[in-house]
């Protein structure tokens, strides 16, 4: 299936606009500091990077050239997917849908879900929508995490709204050109906010060397390694050698819990 556009988005959706929504679901946070915590997820459409490819693919059968291939290409790859098929929603509609997903809404005897995760694609392309969600979450005493590739400035309003950032800088293994995936000003703002954790998807020892260079260059703190993989075997194998790397370098290590439980199933 092909979409109408074969270019990457560069504009940020204005506040109040309806945005494309790929998935809404209730599960566990599968990675990072909140590993295993129940969460309400919203996955937004569109991305400004092409992980696995050096540029936007033009044909459905375009082979990936990077070792780290995006596992949510349905949010951005117009050569394979019809992005216009995704429903569009306002921030208020997204929040209402998340409330309905919370089991405590139907059964008050259950504890409400206290974590909201906004993913993509690249959520910060929809900064106005994400800021509105963050404000609502904070007002209700919930935590909100944003899974971002750290190439788009979050802005002072989103930081002030209390969002936390799982900042996943892309490495050379993604095949994305350096100038597109490393934005020094954005990295420095996220680091200065005190609300970012740096989560790197690792495929090989070459990735580890690049992570160490980025940490030194930008003074990154709270570094997490995450094994690339969409199968139990690959995740487990990479976890074994990454464990010593993380302990030696003073980094943290996360598994991909959702993959270990459900494999590559969408909406988990």
Q: Is 30 annotated as a binding residue?
A: yes
Q: Is 58 annotated as a binding residue?
A: no
For residues 36 and 27, is the Cβ–Cβ distance under 8 A? no
Q: Is 51 annotated as a binding residue?
A: yes
What are the angstrom distances between the C-alpha of 237 and each of 62, 82, 224, 234, 260? Answer: 28, 35, 17, 5, 12
Q: Is 168 annotated as a binding residue?
A: no
Q: Is 47 annotated as a binding residue?
A: yes
What are the angstrom distances between the C-alpha of 249 and each of 45, 60, 111, 171, 191? Answer: 35, 40, 38, 18, 19
How many other C-beta atoms are found inside a 10 Å radius of the C-beta of residue 185?
8
Give the neighbor-by-neighbor strand order of the sheet with 196-202: 88-89, 19-28, 38-44, 115-119, 143-148, 164-167, 196-202, 223-227, 252-253
Q: Is 72 annotated as a binding residue?
A: yes
Q: Is 148 annotated as a binding residue?
A: no
Q: Is 121 annotated as a binding residue?
A: yes
Name the binding residues for substrate: 28-30, 43, 119
Name the binding residues for S-adenosyl-L-methionine: 121
Name the binding residues for Mg(2+): 72
Name the binding residues for [4Fe-4S] cluster: 47, 51, 70
Name the binding residues: 28-30, 43, 47, 51, 70, 72, 119, 121
């Amino acid at each position: 299936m092909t979409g109408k556009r074969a270019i990457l988005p560069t504009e940020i959706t204005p506040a109040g606009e309806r945005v494309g929504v790929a998935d809404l679901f209730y599960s566990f946070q599968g990675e990072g500091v909140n590993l295993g915590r129940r969460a309400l997820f919203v996955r937004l459409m569109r991305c400004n990077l092409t992980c696995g490819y050096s540029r936007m693919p033009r044909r459905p059968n375009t082979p990936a050239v990077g070792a780290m291939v995006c596992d949510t290409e349905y949010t951005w790859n117009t050569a394979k997917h019809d992005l216009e098929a995704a429903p569009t929603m306002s921030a208020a509609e997204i929040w209402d849908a998340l409330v309905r997903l919370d089991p405590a809404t139907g059964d008050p005897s259950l504890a409400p879900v206290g974590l909201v995760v906004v993913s993509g694609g690249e959520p910060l392309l929809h900064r106005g929508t994400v800021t509105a969600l963050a404000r609502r979450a904070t007002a209700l005493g919930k935590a909100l995490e944003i899974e971002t590739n750290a190439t788009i400035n979050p802005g002072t309003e989103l930081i002030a709204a209390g969002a936390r950032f799982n900042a996943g800088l892309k490495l050379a293994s993604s095949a994305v050109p350096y100038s597109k995936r490393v934005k020094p000003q954005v990295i420095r703002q996220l680091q200065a906010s005190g609300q970012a954790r740096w989560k790197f998807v690792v495929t090989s020892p070459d990735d580890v060397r690049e992570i160490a260079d980025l940490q030194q260059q930008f003074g990154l703190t709270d570094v997490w390694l995450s094994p690339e993989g969409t199968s139990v075997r690959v995740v487990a194998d990479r976890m074994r050698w990454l464990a010593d790397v993380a302990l030696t370098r003073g980094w943290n290590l996360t598994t991909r819990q959702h993959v270990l439980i459900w494999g590559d199933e969408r909406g988990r």
